[in-house]
Amino acid sequence: MVGAGVVGAACAYYAARAGLAVAVVDRGPVAGGTTGAGEGNLLVSDKEPGPELDLALLSTRLWRELAEDLGEAVEYEPKGGVVVASTAAGHEALRAFAAGQRAVGVIAEEVPGERLRELEPHLAPGLAGGFHYPQDAQVQPALAAAHLLRAARRMGAELITGETVTAVDLGPDGAVRGVRTDRRRLAAPAVVNAAGTWGGELAALAGVHLPVMPRRGFVLVTEPLPRVVRHKVYAADYVANVASGSAGLETSAVIEGTPGGPVLIGASRERVGFDRTLSQEVLRRLAGQAAELFPVLADVTVLRAYRGFRPYLPDHLPAIGADPRVPGLHHACGHEGAGIGLAPATGLLIAEQLTGKQPELDLGPFRADRFPVVGTA
């Protein structure tokens, strides 16, 4: 596995559990990439019916099982999500969205405006209504990656940090033979590209095109508070922002409490390369939207803000599974803003494929060769 983020960790966990000999290589520490800079929302609520929702529903079940296996340390909270609309038209749009989701197994309970505060006592008054999604949950992403890897190591996996994969070795038949790092050669009949936002670079080392791009996001962290926010709460327009392919700035706050007390307010979306500059405009917009939904947050101190770069593929679906162009090369990257949530299903599907089993879901929509190489006929 190349990458010790949550996706590589989940792949290592399920592959080791399936009895495979596994080595995980990362140029940095565990969770030093986007996993350490994300939030821990495990959402079905924001996904329309289709392959990504199928992955999310499978992951929902797997996260529940993992939480038992990994224990309290990963801060798994099956707290549910609440999506709210400020207008009747917005509520109607949520109703139509939820009807489609229900048809494929999502639990979505309509909440009239006057009952929203039974779920969230500090919500702004006057909202038109919303939906409660009891399957939405939360984990602490860096801890989840660390504990998945710890469990994988107990099952025999090797973890190598601080080494950069600089080459993917191919045999004369074009099949994968292993990888080279800046310090050693690792022989392997299969290589899993779990390099997140850098998955395109890793693919290029094997000679194939995979257009993973960074989509920047900021998160605000407040001072520790008593539980003023009980669920994951966001406004209806968040779904449109997630699905948008625009490179421009989009913000719609998702608000959640954490076991430690701080409230997390995420997240913006924009494609500005790997620009790490702190944007006050973005932070102001997120804070304003959060205070609109929860007026109690208007007087709360923000302790810090951080940013990360989501691994974005142009159709918003990850690349998962064997690459038909290079035998032995598998991809598990490009999960954009949902990689924490989708990690277990990704890991399980990769392990199933590596062990020659029929994967539980059709991997067709996630094929890495679905993107044409720009500039060639």
Ligand X SMILES: Cc1cc2nc3c(=O)[nH]c(=O)nc-3n(C[C@H](O)[C@H](O)[C@H](O)COP(=O)(O)OP(=O)(O)OC[C@H]3O[C@@H](n4cnc5c(N)ncnc54)[C@H](O)[C@@H]3O)c2cc1C
Counting contacts by CB under 6 A, is residue 6 touching ligand X?
yes
# residues contacting ligand X (CB under 6 A): 43
Burial class (CB in 10 A: 0-12, 13-18, 19+), 358: exposed
Residue closer to ligand X (CB basis): 33 or 113: 33
CB of 253 to ligand X, least distance (A): 12
Question: Least distance from C-beta 82 to ligand X, angstroms?
Answer: 15
Binding mask 35-64 for ligand X (x = CB under 6 A): x-xxxxx-----------------------
Residue tagged 């992403």 (tokens): 141
Contact flag: residue 7 with ligand X (CB under 6 A): yes
- Exposure string of 32-68, with b = 16+ CB inside 10 Å and e = fewer, is bbbbbbbbbbbbbbbbeeebbbbbbbbbbebbeebbe
Q: Which residues of 257-277 are buried (b: 16+ CB within 10 A; e: fewer)?
A: bbeeebbbbbbbbbbeeeeee
Q: Which residue in the set 51, 130, 328, 341 belongs to the binding site for ligand X (CB under 6 A)?
A: 341
Q: Which of 94, 170, 282, 333 binds ligand X (CB under 6 A)?
A: 333
Least Å from the CB of residue 145 to ligand X: 7
In the region spanning residues 116 to 175, those forming contacts with ligand X, defined by CB under 6 A, are 164-165
Least distance between ligand X and beta carbon 299 (Å): 24
Q: How distant is the alpha carbon of residue 205 from its chain centre?
A: 24
Q: Does 344 bind ligand X (CB under 6 A)?
A: no
Hey, is 186 helix, strand or coil?
A: strand
User: Are residues 170 and 105 in contact, defined by beta-carbon separation less than 8 angstroms?
Assistant: no
Q: How far apart are CA 73 and CA 93, in angstroms?
A: 38
- Reference 208, options 89, 296, 304, 328; nearest CA is 328
Helix extents (H) in the chain: 6-17, 51-70, 88-102, 116-119, 141-154, 199-205, 237-243, 280-293, 339-354
Choose the stretch contacting ligand X; rule: CB under 6 A; options: 81-89, 123-131, 331-339, 360-368: 331-339
Residue 377 Cβ vs ligand X, minimum distance, rounded to whole Å: 30
Residue count of the chain: 377
Candidate residues 8, 113, 200, 262; the one interacting with ligand X per rule CB under 6 A: 8
**Binding pattern to ligand X, positions 178-207, x when CB under 6 A?**
----------------xxxxx---x-----
Residues that bind ligand X (CB under 6 A): 2-8, 25-28, 32-35, 37-41, 164-165, 194-198, 202, 217, 219, 266-267, 308, 310-311, 333, 335-341
